[in-house]
């Protein structure tokens, strides 16, 4: 249940009401808002005198639902925005991992050259096997911050576990919660409190229901800047790394107000399929793409097989513009 | 193993060689061709004197592989073709089932109005539950034949089990082998021998490996006119009816020479997602779409929730043209 | 809806009523019974005068549901039965395919030696790849019939497509509908009309809902002798061939009245895991097992990796007896 | 690659060698052992003089593989052990969450009454939806510690995210890493360093490959006390909560040396199926079970549908003893 308190309700009173009703308190555009579990179906008596309006929900999709707000939420990255009326489809590109200064400079230069605005790269790569490259860590984050200054780019980087949440929040402009971390409530909480734009990747074994619940968790902490990223789920098919769930994207577009970002690189796992899939995603009118591109994919320290080289990436971006135009969008 | 016999080999001799080598015999553009199991890795001694060339394969993808023929195979429907150099993306549309003369006339009129060339509809609908509508049967096929005559359309209809194979082969221009029938070797064999264009739908629990093996089965009987149709696979996600596997489509495009047709209607299961998914498929440069459209979806006797109404379908087709243009294709 | 007609209703009248109500007619223990689609929720007026009782169902599980008959249905194989109060867990064993007289004699001898009663083997093996062994066909069926005569065994063999339905019905005592054929309504219909015991294998992409619908289809044709066989479903895990769904078995035991047979050989795909899984199945109190055993598994023409050798099989059967005893069952 | 250093190698020298070879250093029963990535296939030159023996592995299953140690590793919980030659199948039971002192006392009493030794209960329940019960936290851990003192029980409790790792390590005897946390390397690391017995639950979207990699991560930090827990994976079937992967268990038993614990409660999601599944697991000869039992399941604050009541649990345990005996095991 979402309860809109009357506009003259004080912050202190709102906090008391939230506490007595076991509800989350957030600050909405027209005053304070309480959010209860979806299992709460009736207005608590003590709230009646202070309530302007309320909505009862059938499930845990509340603040993120089209019923609460019909237009896709607009999220600002400082110099530009996505969602809302912007018509922007943002391409967030760069290597899987920051590997060296020369490598990330090369990537940043490519992004700038093509008129794109967001650079992506991971600093923490604690991968499944303990015996492989684990990322540059804080040194990687420092390199990303340097790229922001020199190239004027917006930086997105991933949080993988609780040991480096504060570091990523300090250095990145967009906080990426990884597919393997999206059930971690300590991370969701830290991101919720940071107020920064958050991109939540769907776990590869995660239902759409759980996916939007993770997003609701961040919203319930007062951070409205949440994007959802579909990056492939596990199915029985193993000739490709994962199965990109565009039916699921159609469901998210119909039922939620979150901007949707697609990651064809991780879904496919092989560079050859990424351009076709990226074009498919843009034709669906999504709000963003995450694309892995590397100066020398064959030498990449992680995810070598799925990263495009610079030439392939330039061709891909060129091919995306007319499709974006055809569906009323603009690549940026 | 594929063995190209010398061009002067007689039909009788070719048959003897095929028999002695336990191979299939087909007639290729430059003479007879023998096809053995992929487990055969060396040329049988008796073949040596008659062999022009041969290819050894690692798996069961042989005649359908890009290694055998790098260009997508061209398939003619009489008045037009797909695949090859045609640049055509054919839209095959119509209702899930033929329900009445008035209904199928309305559909045929719509297809013609929009400049499309193929009408789809099922006559046999032996559905999972025994207690529901099972299709009009041969009466439905007769209605489809009537539409072909009156509207000049190409007809595609589905074979669901062995009891009506001959009927569908007699009436339809394109033979659709359903997702639930694609392991049926009696059906595959009958379609292989018919020589008519065959569209094989991927089972919802079928790996890409098994999918191309079913297609190879038809090819090995001498029918080169095989198309593959991705229509959604089963995953753990149940908010949509199936999960459209576009990563799998990217794999098929990379490794096989089959024209690829996509069926977003069955994948999604809900009309609201079909237009977005259809646009995504066209942006991938596929060779065809199967779209369910019904004069009154709410009254459809099967698959009511996923069929577009005529107005939605007109809008969809209008939106597909610029995307097709953007990827060098033409909707027909 | 299931409608129990009054005991004095004549066959002709029952047929007229069935026709007017678009219902299936079967002959129950206490008179004629009509079965309608589960979407029919009210008694048709013309039935009222002839109706003794009726049950409305929420879904397509009707005759097979515990609500219709709470005890597991008893199925007789002539010399013995399973289900009901029998306490029997039948082991149906033998090679994947009949390959030669010597091979199937060896298998029949083993089955007899261990006091078991059912011999299994496939005669038709139209496998996914067109370029591999396809079974001995009718010659295989004749060999199985010979084994029945000589060893006094009950024979189960599989129907794979419409081209050999009549042959298998003529030769086998138990009709096995394969995982790839269970949506084929022509096969289901022929088995329904035969009256012989039918074992339906769950497709590897088949939901429990569709599984019981296939069984209902056979029941609705008047054949009550239906068993269900879980043989593994497809999941994302590929280190084993399939994933044996024992949670699904628990659901079937709770909600349906079908005897349940388990096939650990196909589920696992590797002989090493079959004994442990077979023991697990027996401990669940199931009604039967299908186990593949071959005189020389390494030389088997199909499914070589998953067949036990005779020594392994003897040890397995010995280990099953005390577990069966522990759960109140008897291996036969 | 695993390298066994000569027994006279000093700790300091072993550390230098590990550092120069980018290997993990652990202390084995016969001296120091270095563990490299499985991609390292040749002995580094500087190691040669100090190496007693080494093993090259094909994949990331190294210390946990049967090739490294053929017998299941023995893990001690103080008063008793599992694995090795013990023949013990430990039942770890209790409620999903600690809810109150009365509730957990009741559970502890039941465990003691039945001669069992391990009490399970969660203190941190940061569940997917933000709007539901999140556990008693440290107060719950304190109650569990109190139960250990009063009832002489071994306590297992779950770590869900990085915010309470230290608390659980301080209070629990067995550290349970939850299905949603098993990719969290900060948690794996903390558990690895603690030296306490660790039970890793398989994520519901996790391959067996990734599962054993998580376990290897803990082993590589010098903690040999790792158990694996299968608790159901996600498949397309949704009539049960998850799909218990006993084929996967057969694979783990064949290829790894980890004790295996099964959690039928979470897999099934409904109490009615738990006893049958628990019996199946015991018949496979596994090393442990995790069973949820609650004084009043209908009033449970989490997972209400899948918890057994005390009466059902007593019957279950009684039925497990003869099955355990049949497979040479003992319930404790």
Instruction: State the complex-level ipTM.
Output: 0.93
Q: Name all chains with 3 or more CB-CB pairs below 8 Å to chain B.
A: A, C, D
A277 Cβ under 8 Å from any chain B Cβ = yes
- Whether D161 contacts chain A with CB within 8 A: yes
Measured in whole angstroms, how far is the alpha carbon of residue D315 from the centre of its chain?
Answer: 25
- For A29-61, b where at least 16 C-beta lie within 10 A, e where not — what string? eeebbbbbbbebeeebeebeebbeebeebeebb
What pLDDT is recorded for position A23?
A: 85
For residue A55, what pLDDT is reported?
86
Give the mutation candidate from C252, C262, C326, C328 for the D interface (greatest D CB count, under 10 A). C326
Q: How close does chain A come to C232, measured CA to CA in Å?
A: 13
Q: Which of A17-31, A228-242, B253-267, C139-153 has the lowest mean pLDDT?
A: A17-31
The pairing of beta strand A24-28 with beta strand A31-35: antiparallel
CA D108, CA B279: separation in Å to the nearest integer?
A: 59
- The reply to whether residue B237 touches residue A248, judged by beta carbons under 8 angstroms, is yes
CA distance D200 to D178: 7
pLDDT tens-digit readout, C95-110: 999 999 999 999 999 9
B239 CB neighbours in chain A (<8 A) are 207-209, 248, 251
Report which of C122, C219, C213 is spatially closest to residue C172, judged by C-alpha positions: C122
* Closest residue to A129, CB basis, from D161, D205, D213: D213
Q: Distance of CA A217 to CAs A77, A80, A261, C66, Å?
A: 21, 26, 19, 42
- pTM value? 0.93
What per-residue confidence (pLDDT) applies to B130? 62
Residue D238, chain A, CB below 8 Å: the answer is no
Q: What is the per-residue pLDDT for A129?
A: 60
Rounded-to-integer distance, Cα C21 and Cα B116, Å:
41
- Round to whole Å and give the CA distance between D141 and B11: 83
Q: Which of B207, B276, B327 sits opposite A284 (nearest CB)?
A: B276
For residue A219, give the H/E element and its range. helix A208-220
CB contact under 8 A, B326 and A327: no
Check: CB of residue D65 under 8 Å from CB of residue D28: no
pLDDT (tens digit, 9 = 90+) per residue, D178-199? 999 999 999 999 999 999 999 9
Residue D130 touches partner A, C-beta closer than 8 Å: yes
Contact A234 C238 (CB under 8 A): no
Residue B7 has pLDDT above 80, yes or no: yes
List, for residues C192-214, the tens digit of each pLDDT value: 999 999 999 999 999 999 999 99
Give the pLDDT score at A131. Answer: 63
Mean pLDDT of B98-112: 96
Task: State pLDDT tens for residues B157-168.
Answer: 999 988 899 999
Mutate to test the interface with A, among D162, D177, D178 (most CBs of A within 10 A): D162
pLDDT at B126 > cutoff 80: no
Please list, in sequence order, all residues whose beta carbon lies within 8 angstroms of the beta carbon of residue A100, skipping any fewer than 6 positions away: none
- Tokens in use for B30? 């430059």
- Give the alpha-carbon dihedral of B162, B166, B170, B173, to 10 degrees: 30
Question: Over pLDDT 70: what percentage of chain D?
Answer: 98
Two structure tokens written together for D282: 């015991």
* Burial degree of C290 (CB within 10 A; 0-12, 13-18, 19+): buried
Give mean pLDDT, residues D142-167. 95
Do B238 and D234 count as a contact with CB atoms less than 8 A apart?
Answer: no
Of D244, D279, D285, the CB nearest to C327: D279
Residues of B in contact with C186 (CB under 8 A): 126, 161-163
Q: Do strands A2-5 and A24-28 pair parallel, antiparallel, or not at all (unpaired)?
A: unpaired
Q: How much is the pLDDT for D142? A: 96
* Cβ A5 vs Cβ A51: under 8 Å: yes
DSSP notation for C7-67: TT--HHHHHHHHHHTT-EEEEETTEEEEE--TT--S--GGGGGGEEEEE--SSS--TTBTT
pLDDT of residue A130: 62
pLDDT > 90 in chain C, percent: 78
pLDDT the model gives residue D277: 98
Higher pLDDT, A25 or C263: C263
Q: Do A235 and C236 touch (CB under 8 A)?
A: yes
Question: Which residue in B204, B229, B221 sits closest to B82, CA to CA?
Answer: B229
Average pLDDT, chain B: 93
Confidence check: pLDDT of D48 > 70: yes
Q: Is the pLDDT of residue B30 over 90?
A: no
Judging contacts by C-beta atoms under 8 Å, the chain D residues touching residue B238 are 236, 238
Residue B331 pLDDT > 80? yes
The pLDDT-based confidence of D131 (bands split at 50, 70, 90) is: low
Residues of C in contact with D327 (CB under 8 A): 279, 319, 323
Q: Which has the higher per-residue pLDDT, D54 or D201?
A: D201
Query: Of A27-41, C298-312, D297-311, D315-329, where does mean pLDDT reach its minimum?
Result: A27-41
HSE-CB of B46 using CA atoms within 13 angstroms: 12
Helix (H, G, I), strand (E, B) or coil at A205: coil
Q: Which tens digit of pLDDT belongs to each residue from B132-157? A: 677 889 999 999 999 999 999 999 99
pLDDT at site A259: 98
| In contact, A105 and D164? CB cutoff 8 Å | no
What integer is the mean pLDDT of D42-69? Answer: 89
Res. D301: pLDDT tops 90: no
| Cβ neighbours of residue A291 closer than 8 Å, sequence gap 6 or more | A91, A92, A93, A263, A264, A265, A274, A278, A308, A313, A316
| Structure letter (DSSP) for residue C303 | -
| pLDDT tier for residue C135 given thresholds of 50, 70 and 90 | confident
Which residues of chain A fall below pLDDT 50?
Answer: none
Residue range C110-128: average pLDDT? 90
- State the average pLDDT for chain D: 93
Mean pLDDT, residues B217-243:
96
The reply to whether B37 touches chain C by the CB within 8 Å rule is yes
Burial class (CB in 10 A: 0-12, 13-18, 19+), C78: exposed
With CB atoms and an 8 Å threshold, state whether B186 touches C163.
Answer: yes
pLDDT of residue C102: 96
pLDDT of amino acid B229: 98
Question: Which pLDDT score, from 0 to 100, does residue C127 have?
Answer: 61
pLDDT at B278 over 80: yes
Higher per-residue pLDDT: A129 or B171: B171
Measured between CA atoms, how close is A245 to chain B, in angstroms?
6
Q: Are residues A236 and B205, on separate chains, in Cβ contact within 8 Å?
A: yes
Residue A298's CB is within 10 A of a number of other CB atoms, namely 9
The position carrying tokens 């400079």 is A105
Q: How confident is the model at residue C251 (pLDDT cuts 50, 70, 90)?
A: very high
Residues of A in contact with D165 (CB under 8 A): 162
By the CB < 8 Å criterion, does B284 face chain A? yes
Residue C238 forms contact with A (CB below 8 Å): yes
Average pLDDT (C139-160) is 96
CB distance B290 to B120 below 8 Å = yes
Chain D nearest-CA distance from C246, in A, is: 7
Structure confidence at residue D238 (pLDDT):
95
Residue with the two structure tokens 């690391």? D189
CB C150: neighbour CB atoms within 10 A?
Answer: 12
- Residue C128: pLDDT over 90: no
- Rounded to an integer, the average pLDDT of D301-320 is 94
């Amino acid at each position: 249940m979402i309860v809109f308190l009357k506009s003259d309700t004080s912050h202190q009173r709102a906090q008391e009401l939230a506490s007595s009703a076991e509800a989350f308190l957030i600050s909405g555009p027209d005053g304070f808002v309480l959010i209860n579990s979806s299992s709460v179906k009736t207005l608590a008596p003590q709230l009646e005198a202070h309530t302007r309006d309320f909505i009862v929900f059938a499930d845990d999709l509340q603040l993120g639902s089209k019923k609460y707000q019909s237009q896709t939420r607009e999220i600002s990255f400082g110099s530009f925005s996505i969602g809302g009326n912007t018509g922007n489809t943002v391409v967030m590109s760069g290597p899987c991992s920051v590997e060296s200064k020369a490598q990330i400079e090369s990537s940043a230069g490519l992004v700038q050259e093509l008129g794109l605005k967001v650079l992506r790269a991971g600093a923490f790569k604690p991968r499944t096997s303990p015996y492989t490259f684990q990322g540059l860590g804080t040194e990687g984050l420092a390199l990303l911050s340097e790229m922001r200054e020199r190239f004027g780019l917006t930086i997105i980087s991933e949080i993988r576990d609780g040991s480096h949440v504060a570091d990523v929040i300090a250095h990145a402009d967009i906080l990426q919660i990884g597919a393997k971390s999206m059930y971690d409530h300590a991370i969701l909480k830290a991101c919720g409190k940071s107020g920064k734009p958050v991109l939540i990747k769907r776990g590869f074994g995660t239902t759409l229901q759980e996916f939007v619940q993770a997003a609701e968790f961040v919203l319930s902490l007062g951070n409205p800047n949440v994007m959802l990223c579909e990056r492939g789920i596990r199915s029985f098919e193993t000739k490709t790394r994962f199965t990109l769930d565009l039916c699921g994207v159609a469901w998210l577009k119909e039922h939620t107000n979150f901007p949707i970002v697609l990651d064809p690189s991780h879904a496919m796992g092989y560079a050859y399929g990424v351009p076709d899939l990226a074009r498919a995603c843009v034709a669906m009118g999504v709000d963003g793409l995450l694309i892995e591109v590397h100066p020398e994919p064959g030498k990449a320290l992680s995810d070598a097989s799925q990263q495009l080289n610079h030439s392939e990436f330039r061709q891909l971006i060129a091919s995306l513009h007319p499709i974006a135009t055809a569906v009323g969008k603009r690549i940026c």
